[in-house]
Amino acid sequence: MAVDLGTSRRTGFAVVVGVYVAAGLAAWVVVAVGRGGHPLGLTFWADLVATLVVFAASVVVGNASLYDPYWSVAPGVIVVAWVWWRSGGDLGAITGRQWAVLVLVLVWAVRLTANWAVSWRGLGHEDWRYVQLRETRPGWLPWWVISLTGIQVMPTLVVFGGLLAVWPAVTVTGRSWGWLDVLAVLVTGAAILVEAVADRQLHRFAGDPGNRGRIMDRGLWRYSRHPNYLGEISFWWGLWLFGLAAAPRWWWTVAGPVVMILLFAFVSVPMMDRRSLARRPAYAEHMRRVPALIPAPGRGSRMAA
């Protein structure tokens, strides 16, 4: 049974902070108990245990969105831990590539978490996709199973898969800085910028009462229906380039960004498009004019008057 903790933002954020501190402590216990094991394996189990703590809390408060910031919080913590472990806690021992990865990941993490915080209204606010899943699930399937596997554990595994390329990027230091690192910085930095600009443009559009019922077809959204998703996908490809630059034999970690493409292209984009179609019939024409993710020459929505 869910506990009613009210709907205020202050209460909600206090609960989130408390839960994430508890999740972090649980992850630390896993690492402490497994001391001596491979850091990559310990990170995986610590990540999974932290996810289970957040899941348990989400069941108690009756809101699966308690997990939402985990997508951006966990990677920053993990990368900091890996760099700290590899450098022995000596800031002077951190290489240029490690600094580049660390700074870019932290900028991405802080911005994305802040974006979530701005839009989250408290424990009374749950992502519409979760509400839809709860209402349309088969009667024989408990909600907690869907929440645990599809909403929380699955994204944790997907993100950890994306971070596999970061492991060699911040722990293998035998290769000097090269052109591939420069490309990685450009791709990752541009991805963060695209995602930030797209989110900002969307917030400003949605916050204008005069745009109620209209389709967002301005700025970056004129050329892509989901430029924020494009930025997110590109971010993980940029991290993979860092891993490739540090250790080419880890090329197989390309599976991480590939899974990101599949997740957004076949889950997130269709869900968002179906919702927009249901609310705005004219969105069908918008879909014909504007590509889902990658802008195409000659295609693009006409600017609204």
| Distances, alpha carbon 169 to alpha carbons 72, 100, 162, in Å | 19, 10, 12
pLDDT digits (tens, 9 = 90+) for 65-87: 999 999 999 999 999 999 999 99
Question: pLDDT at position 233, please?
Answer: 98
Assess whether pLDDT exceeds 90 at residue 4: no
Q: What is the mean pLDDT of the chain?
A: 93
What is this structure's pTM?
0.92
Residues 81-87: contacts with CB under 8 Å, at least 24 apart: 81/43, 82/39, 82/43, 82/166, 82/167, 82/170, 82/171, 83/170, 85/39, 85/171, 86/170, 86/171, 86/173
| Segments making up each domain of the chain, as ranges | 9-120+144-173, 177-305
pLDDT digits (tens, 9 = 90+) for 121-138: 889 889 999 999 999 899
Question: pLDDT at position 213, please?
Answer: 86
Question: What letter does residue 147 receive in the DSSP assignment?
Answer: I
Mean of the pLDDT values across residues 161-177?
A: 94
Assess whether pLDDT exceeds 80 at residue 3: no
Mean of the pLDDT values across residues 208-220?
A: 91
Question: pLDDT at position 299, please?
Answer: 67
